[in-house]
Amino acid sequence: MADRTGNGAQPVCAAGGPDSMVAPGARPAPPGGPRACAGPKMAAPRAAARLVLRAGGRARPAPAPAGARLLCACPRKYEAVRGKARGATRAETEALRAAAGPLSAEQALRLLEASVVHREGALVALSKPVGLPVAGGAGAGAGGLTSRPAAGSPGQLSLEALLPQLSQRLALSPELHIVRAPGKESSGLVLLSTCHATTQRLQEFFVRARRTGRPPATYCAVTVGVPADSQGEIRTGLKLAQVGDARLVVPVAAPSQGSVARKEVKKTRTCYTVLGSAHGCSLLQLQPVTAFSSQLLVHLTLLLCPALGDHVYSPRVGAVLGQSFLLPAESTPPCTQVLPKQVLDRLRLTQQQVHLLPLHLHLHQLQLPAVVLAAPPPPFFLRTLHCLGLPTHLEPQGGCRQ
């Protein structure tokens, strides 16, 4: 099994506190601009890639100016655009546009109530939509599991803020709380509990599972690019650092023992399996052995295969003459993802519409002591799989090797 360590990834000097980046953004590149990732199995050497960058450079979409409001990917607006591209009637298009606004509390509650996939004893599992934060404040970013959400901002729509009303609708105890949930920009399984003792036992189970190399969470992701190996793992250090105006996660290829001991850097590991590939894109199964904010998104960039709809970390993957390579993390701020023409054509989108693309990262399965929970991907995810010719039936493959 291949081992991707992220050698050559550029660390930065600053380390920081909680990740406050919750929305992607910047202005999209012009239609004729360069593409973010090109072709399958492109894995140029990292050092050579940096030389090419310094010699010729690569144009990128301009980052958002200081103080500018970041664009926010919206699956409902994306569906409206997709409906128009499919040749929907005028009435259908108007209905899609009307539905493209932000979710109200009532709409979110109905959606959560209808998405329950498991209910037994003190536990309830449901499927969270993209864009709904676990808490109003800064929590785990995309690709990270949240177990202790921060206090939310008053009045801000979040899963935590909706729990009192949701417990009433589901006829559950008001003690309902979050055990595990994906980050705001990810979709997928949310595990809730009405018993704190049960929650404590589950947390201990999750810790033991990770320590023994049996990660309990299985994600699926659509990526732009195809990994050079059909199965492997990514190992690298990760830390939070200031990149421009945003606090982001950056890789540290060879963290010192001191930085790890001081908890400035965390050693991380993710196992991956390619479930299918077509038209320069892939469907990957991802199993994070460790837990760190935005771990999966950063690890995917080290594979040179950023997640579709990642408008934060995907700009770190550049391309020159068909060769993909890593750009320095400390000088690559977030901006709208740039897609190859063949991907735009398959999705029936223009580059100006790409900022509406939601993140295609879904928490598909969660292993519990006595049962495996599963939640199907959201409709937009399945439609993307169909448009790109990727498998639409998700069948977990194998697991991490110790």
Q: Does residue 400 form part of some domain?
A: no
Q: Residue 179: is its pLDDT beyond 50?
A: yes
d(CA 160, CA 170): 15
Give the torsion through C-alpha atoms of 225, 229, 230, 234, to 10 deg: -90
Asked whether residue 345 carries a pLDDT value surpassing 90, the answer given is yes
User: Is 277 found in the same domain as 348?
Assistant: yes
Instruction: Kindly state the average pLDDT of the residues 164-191.
Output: 95
- What pLDDT, in 10s, does the model give residues 218-239? 999 999 999 999 999 999 999 9
Q: Using a pLDDT cut of 70, give the percent of the chain over it.
A: 68
Amino acid at 51: L
Domain end residue (candidates: 162, 189, 211): 211
Query: Which residue among 192, 211, 230 closes a domain?
Result: 211
Q: Which of 59-68, 89-98, 149-158 has the lowest mean pLDDT?
A: 59-68
- Distance from C-alpha of 382 to C-alpha of 358, rounded to nearest angstrom: 13
Question: Do residue 299 and residue 239 come from a single domain?
Answer: yes
- Which one is predicted more confidently, 41 or 299? 299
Question: Could you tell me if residue 371 is inside a domain?
Answer: no
Same domain, 197 and 254: no
Pairing assessment for the beta strands 361-367 and 123-128 based on DSSP bridges: unpaired
pLDDT of 394 reads 80
* Cα–Cα dist 8/113, whole Å: 46
Amino acid identity, position 106: E
Name the DSSP letter for residue 373: E
Same domain, 384 and 235: yes
Is 48 inside any structural domain? yes
Q: Would you say residue 335 has pLDDT above 90?
A: yes
pLDDT beyond 60 at 214: yes
Is 401 part of a structural domain of the chain? no
Residues 269 and 304 in one domain: yes
The closest alpha carbon to 36, from 252, 234, 309, 384, belongs to 309
Of residues 35 and 106, more confidently modeled: 106
Q: Measured between alpha carbons, how far is 335 from 327 in angstroms, rounded to an integer? A: 14
- Same domain for 89 and 111, yes or no, is no
Residues 251 and 294 occupy one common structural domain? yes
Q: How many degrees, rounded to 5, is the angle at CA 358 between CA 61 and CA 155? A: 105
Query: Does residue 23 surpass a pLDDT of 50?
Result: no
Residue 143 clears pLDDT 70, i.e. is over it = no
Residues 231 and 347 in one domain: yes
Q: Same structural domain for residues 251 and 275?
A: yes
Of 9, 11, 59, nearest to 32 by C-alpha is 59
Claim to verify: residue 91 and residue 19 sit in the same structural domain: yes
Band the pLDDT of 124: cuts 50, 70, 90: very high
> Using H for helix, E for strand and C for coil, what is the string for 58-96?
CCCCCCCCCCCCCCCCCHHHHHHHHHHHCCCCHHHHHHH
Domain extent for 269: 2-59+70-98+216-364+376-388
Confidence of residue 323 (pLDDT cuts 50, 70, 90): confident
Helix locations, 86-231, DSSP H:
90-98, 105-114, 159-169, 196-211
Give the pLDDT of residue 88: 46
With a cut of 60, say whether residue 336 has pLDDT above it: yes
351: exposed, middle or buried (C-beta count within 10 Å: 0-12, 13-18, 19+)?
Answer: buried
Cα 32 versus chain centre, distance = 27
Number of domains present in the structure of the chain: 2
Note whether 55 and 121 are same-domain residues.
no
Distance CA 222, CA 337 (A): 14
- With a cut of 60, say whether residue 38 has pLDDT above it: no
Q: Which helix (H) or strand (E) holds 344?
A: helix 341-347
**Which range among 1-10, 17-26, 87-96, 364-373 has the greatest average pLDDT?**
364-373
Cα 197 from Cα 177, distance rounded (Å): 12
Give the Cβ contact number of residue 110 at 10 Å: 13
> To the nearest whole number, what is the mean pLDDT of the chain?
78
Is 395 contained in some domain? no
Residue 171: CATH number of its domain: 3.30.2350.10
For residue 396, being part of any structural domain is answered with: no
Mean pLDDT of the region 301-318: 96
Question: What is d(CA 196, CA 194) in angstroms, rounded to the nearest whole number?
Answer: 7
β-strand pairing of 123-128 with 116-120: antiparallel
Which of 176, 211, 246 delimits the end of a domain?
211
Backbone angles phi, psi at 226, to 5 degrees: -125, 125
More confident residue, 14 or 245: 245
Same domain, 119 and 178: yes
Q: What is the pLDDT of residue 7?
A: 42
* Domain-embedded: residue 249: yes
Across the range 320-346, mean pLDDT stands at 91
| Residue 244 within any structural domain of the chain | yes
